[in-house]
Amino acid sequence: MAQTALNPKAPTPALDWKKWIGVTPFFLFAILFLVLPSMRLIVGSFTNSDGQFTFANIFQLFQEQAILDAYWLSIRISAATAIGGGIFGFLLAYSVTVGGLPKPLRSALITFSGVASNFAGVPLAFAFIATLGRTGFVTALIKNLFGVNLYQQTDFDLYSFWGLSLTYMYFQFPLMVLIMAPALDGLKREWREAAENLGASTGQYWLRVAFPVLLPSILGSMILLFGNAFGAYATAYALTGGRLGIITIQIGAQIRGDVLHNPGLGYAMAMGMVVVMTISLIGYSWLQKKSERWLR
């Protein structure tokens, strides 16, 4: 270092490529499954069926009412599951961490949350159909024990907006637990002791100290849940069979061409999803930076 500073012409140290071998699979994975597909979306969004450049696909996003309705339906489902999963997940994370549950039970809940947050797609849809479908186990159990037919005597329908939202909640609230548990563990004991020494009750401590500190983490986690539900496809398609026209199912129909066929419009719709997801990630990153000031 001293020789380089005294002699500007001294050769710079050679780059050790061995240090980059470990991250090579990551870069390959990112290029193959993130960069190249994104470039394909961008090119396809501005290409017509003849391979010529066009803005028609982008303009059609704002002209087709069915597309706008699909975006709005996906946003409503994502918002409902993000809020519901966020509240329920936060309460469960509180019980696991601050609530003082026994360590074996805490380990079991954290393990379950790690598994359940990744349990989605066709298996999850089948599990809910077998449980709460028209001939599902719980449906039959409620009918036999209480004489109530969920599908005939109530407004419940597993294949509707609220049914799909309930299914999404299965992997939403465990994800909230995994995100919020470290944030709750990051609350310093000294803060609570200081508040109690100043005469604050438990409610006042949470209202005036803990909750304001955790609020950026809670909101950021809900945004992450929103993006998680907004991009879901396999669960909704396997559960409803396309009965609910959320945006991911509409994109699949456009590209596959089973009913509709306009790949360029499908790519443009996917680009719209990328924009929504990008906004969500920016909001999440901003809120995480605000929470890290206190919880690091």
The domain that holds 93 is classified in CATH as: 1.10.3720.10
Tokens 């803060």 sit at which residue?
Answer: 191
Tell whether 182 is covered by a domain.
Answer: yes
Tell whether 250 is covered by a domain.
Answer: yes
Tell whether 10 is covered by a domain.
Answer: no
Tell whether 48 is covered by a domain.
Answer: no
Tell whether 24 is covered by a domain.
Answer: no
pLDDT tens, position by position, 19-57 = 788 888 888 998 998 889 889 888 989 988 788 888 988
- Radius of gyration in angstroms for the set of CA atoms belonging to the chain, rounded to a whole number: 25
> Is the pLDDT confidence value at 279 over 50?
yes
- Nearest CA-CA partner of 290 in 192, 210, 215, 186: 215
> Is the pLDDT confidence value at 64 over 80?
yes
> Is the pLDDT confidence value at 84 over 60?
yes
Record the pTM: 0.85
Tell whether 272 is covered by a domain.
Answer: yes
pLDDT tens, position by position, 151-187 = 988 888 999 999 999 999 999 999 999 999 888 888 8
Tell whether 127 is covered by a domain.
Answer: yes
Domain, as residue range, for 135: 65-295
Number of independent structural domains in the chain: 1
Tell whether 33 is covered by a domain.
Answer: no
